[in-house]
């Protein structure tokens, strides 16, 4: 029995007696459990004024078992595997430090680094022992290593995963799918794929406790397509109004002077407009894994400046009264492949093709890809036709 307890009996008007027959009254005696020796009590009941014979009750006091034998368990590592608590005894019951009962088996949580206190009792022949206490210590984990993702191009050789280990890492270990693997493992690059590995480190001042694993992702990337280009025409000795990179659709461009070999440059070349004729530039694009595409040719043609057009106005142009008047046939003929564009002398837009205007000089522009110098037609001016004055 545990603690002092009171005897109970199913009787009417009971009278209790000591073992030697001395009456103690109607109140049931309290069993003294401090003494492990058997204790004897007697009791009679009174019904209708008649007292029964005495019954003898012997209480056997079972000895209180000693607390379970415990020892502080092996120190665990933060975030590391845990272990079931053990103690020597029968029918063990575990408790938290605040005496909250715990369900067996009890395994300490290693997410923190604070020491954890547990209590345990054993029960023998229905009697519970006092609680024994043990402390689970947890050492802090090592710091996580700092890692960066890796990239390789399909078909190119890859390095062992150990090449991704930062120089500051102590005691590195590599894992994949929860199992430790050799640091000499080499990712396969025969096809586009993604490999995920885990890396831990164990720092010298962390009592052998490794870090949490950190994912290291290595991607095998496809070779990018050659960038798309738009060829460019520029005029001899005229400033270029566009840059070559604006004629290319791609990322991280590299420029070459030859279709194969040579050293590339990330600086966009500037075409030499002093030399007439075509020149081919070669350009590639590179993805985030430094996989470089095939080269695309971009042709820049420097066109010569055509001669200014020559022409005359056939007939006089007379002043009119508010009505447009054709200014006559112009003897201006463009070179083969060229076109004529007309301008007013005081503005570079808006002239009809060819112009119809009263008393206004016009310019003609001879264009064959590259505009040449402008040539001025100066019409003859008259006063009003009714004045019959000679042309000026």
Helix (H, G, I), strand (E, B) or coil at 58: strand
Average pLDDT over residues 63-75: 94
Per-residue model confidence (pLDDT) at position 320: 55
Q: What Cα–Cα distance (Å) separates residue 111 from each residue in 76, 80, 96, 145, 287? A: 11, 8, 17, 18, 40
Q: How far apart are CA 152 and CA 103, in angstroms?
A: 51
Peptide bond into 105 cis (omega under 30): yes
| Dist. CA 381–CA 392, nearest whole Å | 6
pLDDT at 59: 87
Q: What is the pLDDT of residue 378?
A: 44
CATH superfamily of 228-303: Immunoglobulins (2.60.40.10)
354-363: b (≥16 Cβ within 10 Å) or e? bbebbebbbb
Contact 213, 147 (CB under 8 A): no
Could you identify the residue written with the tokens 């575990």?
94
Q: What is the residue extent of each domain of the chain?
A: 5-59, 76-139, 150-199+213-221, 228-303, 305-392
d(CA 392, CA 390): 6
pLDDT average, residue stretch 264-282: 96
In whole angstroms, give the CA distance from residue 108 to residue 119: 13
For 342-365, write each residue's pLDDT tens digit: 666 666 665 666 665 444 555 554
**Per-residue pLDDT reduced to its tens digit, 149-191:** 999 999 999 999 999 999 999 999 999 999 999 999 999 999 9
Q: Is the pLDDT of residue 322 over 70?
A: no
Token readout for 13 is: 């008007």
Percent helix, strand and coil across the chain, each to the nearest 5: 5, 35, 65
Give the chain's length: 392
pLDDT digits (tens, 9 = 90+) for 210-240: 999 999 999 999 999 999 999 999 999 999 8
- The answer to whether 186 and 192 have CB atoms below 8 angstroms apart is no
330 close to 377: Cβ distance less than 8 angstroms: yes
Query: What is the pLDDT at residue 274?
Result: 94
Alpha-carbon distance of 241 to 293, in angstroms, equals 28
Instruction: Give the residue-averaged pLDDT of 191-195.
Output: 96
Element (H, E) at 117: strand 116-121
């Amino acid at each position: 029995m545990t603690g002092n307890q009171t005897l109970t009996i199913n009787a009417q008007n009971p009278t209790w007696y000591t073992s030697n027959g001395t009456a103690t009254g109607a109140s049931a005696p309290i069993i003294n459990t401090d003494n492990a020796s058997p204790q004897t009590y007697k009791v009679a009941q009174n019904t209708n004024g008649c007292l029964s014979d005495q019954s003898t009750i012997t209480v056997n006091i079972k000895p209180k078992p000693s607390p379970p034998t415990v020892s502080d368990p092996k120190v665990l590592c933060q975030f590391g595997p845990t272990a079931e608590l053990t103690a020597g005894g029968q029918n063990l019951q575990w408790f938290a430090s605040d005496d909250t009962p715990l369900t067996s088996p009890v395994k300490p949580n290693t997410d923190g680094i604070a020491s954890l206190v547990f209590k345990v009792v054993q029960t023998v022949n229905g009697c519970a022992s006092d609680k024994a206490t043990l402390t689970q210590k947890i050492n802090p984990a090592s710091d996580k290593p700092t890692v960066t993702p890796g990239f390789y191009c399909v078909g190119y050789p890859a390095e062992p995963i150990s090449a991704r280990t930062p120089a500051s890492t102590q005691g590195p270990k590599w894992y994949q799918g929860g199992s430790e693997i050799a640091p000499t493992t080499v990712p396969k690059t025969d096809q586009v794929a993604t490999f995920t590995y885990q890396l831990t480190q164990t720092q010298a001042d962390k009592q052998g406790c490794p870090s949490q694993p950190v994912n290291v992702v290595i991607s095998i990337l496809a070779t990018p397509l050659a960038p798309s280009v738009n060829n460019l025409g520029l005029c001899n000795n005229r400033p270029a109004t566009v840059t070559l990179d604006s004629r290319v659709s791609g990322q991280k461009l590299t420029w070459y002077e030859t279709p194969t070999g040579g050293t590339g440059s990330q600086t966009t070349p500037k075409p030499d407009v002093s030399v007439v004729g075509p020149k081919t530039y070669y350009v590639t694009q590179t993805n985030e894994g430094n996989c470089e595409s095939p080269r695309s040719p971009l042709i820049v043609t420097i066109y010569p400046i055509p001669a200014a057009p020559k022409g005359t106005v056939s007939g006089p142009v007379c002043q009119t009264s508010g009505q447009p008047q054709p200014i006559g046939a112009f003897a201006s003929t463009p070179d083969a492949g060229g076109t004529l564009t007309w301008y007013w002398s005081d503005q570079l837009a808006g002239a009809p093709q060819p112009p119809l205007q009263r008393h206004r000089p016009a310019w003609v522009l001879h264009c064959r890809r590259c505009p040449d110098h402008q040539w001025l037609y100066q019409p003859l001016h008259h006063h009003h036709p009714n004045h019959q004055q000679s042309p000026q």
